[in-house]
Structure 1
């Protein structure tokens, strides 16, 4: 049994959706979520409830999209109108994709910091080329890379 499961009963407290439609939406949403974050199918997935919340939110938004429902909020002279009549490009928002993919990441990540000299012959150790710069600051380029012209190494 996959770690993340959603049933029509999980959607019922939030919206009234015909069971056949809800089941089809669940299958689609889980399929897309597995494509974006394959780890949610593993039995030892660490965040099944969080993934379920993200997927359920996308399903509920999908259900509301295109209904033409308009919500109006007013407080004094200020008014806010929210129109849910939007077209559906993707099931998941970019932030939801990031959330799902972050749940699949391990806590350790590989990184490297090169502290060794650049290996370029003739440059001073203080030359900007050796320190990650994009131009020579020691003048070795003027001596055919035989020796640094300005920034000589202290030794």
Structure 2
């Protein structure tokens, strides 16, 4: 069984108030979506484990803390003001930049062969 990309202890310092069961659900969701976006992460030869861990940790930290912040209401006579400093959740676990990073992890590093080149093996493809 391969070593997991991220575990509860990796998130505990950043999300101390969340129970282990909730953190485990976040991990399962994040890894599942990441595997869909970047199928190569499931290969034994996947070489970017540290980068993947950083992306997963960042996405989980951000999404698990949505709604944090405060709402301040001020009034003076007939005038009122409400300031909402809570983070909004987009409904998507990964940001567009994180999606691009995940997809880039699976892009082939082998240059495209020209008309007079001899392929010496199959390059790892996005779905390989």
C-alpha distance in structure 2 between counterparts of 1:15 and 1:42, whole Å: 29
Structure having greater relative contact order (Cα 8 Å, sep ≥ 6)? 2
Alignment TM-score, normalising by the size of structure 1? 0.58
Compared CA separation, residues 7 and 64, structure 1 to 2 (3 A): same
Check if 1:5 corresponds to 2:14.
Answer: no
Measured in 1, the distance between the counterparts of 2:46 and 2:70 equals 36
Q: How many angstroms does 1:28 deviate by?
A: 0.5
TM-score, normalised with respect to structure 2: 0.70
Larger Rg: 1
Alignment check: 8 A CA contact 2:5 2:52 kept = no
How far the C-alpha of 1:49 sits from its partner, in A, is 0.7
Structure-2 separation of matches of 1:107 and 1:3: 25
8 Å contact from structure 1 (residues 4, 51) kept in 2? no
Q: Which residue of 2 aligns with 1:27?
A: 28
Gaps of 5+ in 2: 72-83, 116-128
In the TM superposition, what are the counterparts of 1:35-114 in structure 2 within 5 Å?
Answer: 35-68=36-69, 83-110=85-112
Looking at structure 2, the residues matched to 27 and 61 of structure 1 have their Cα atoms a distance apart, in angstroms, of 16
Deviations 1:62-89 (A, max 9, x none): 111122358xxxxxxxxxxx93420232
Contact 1:34 1:40 in 2 (8 A): yes
Relative to structure 1, is the Cα distance of residues 84 and 54 closer, same or farther in structure 2, using a 3 angstrom cutoff?
A: farther
How far residue 52 of structure 1 moved from its aligned partner, in angstroms, is 0.8
> What RMSD in Å do the two structures reach over aligned CA positions?
2.5
**When the two structures are aligned, how many residues end up with a matched partner?**
103
Work out whether residues 2 and 41 of structure 1, in 8 Å CA contact, stay in contact via their aligned partners in 2: no
1:19/1:47 CA distance change after superposition, 3 Å: same
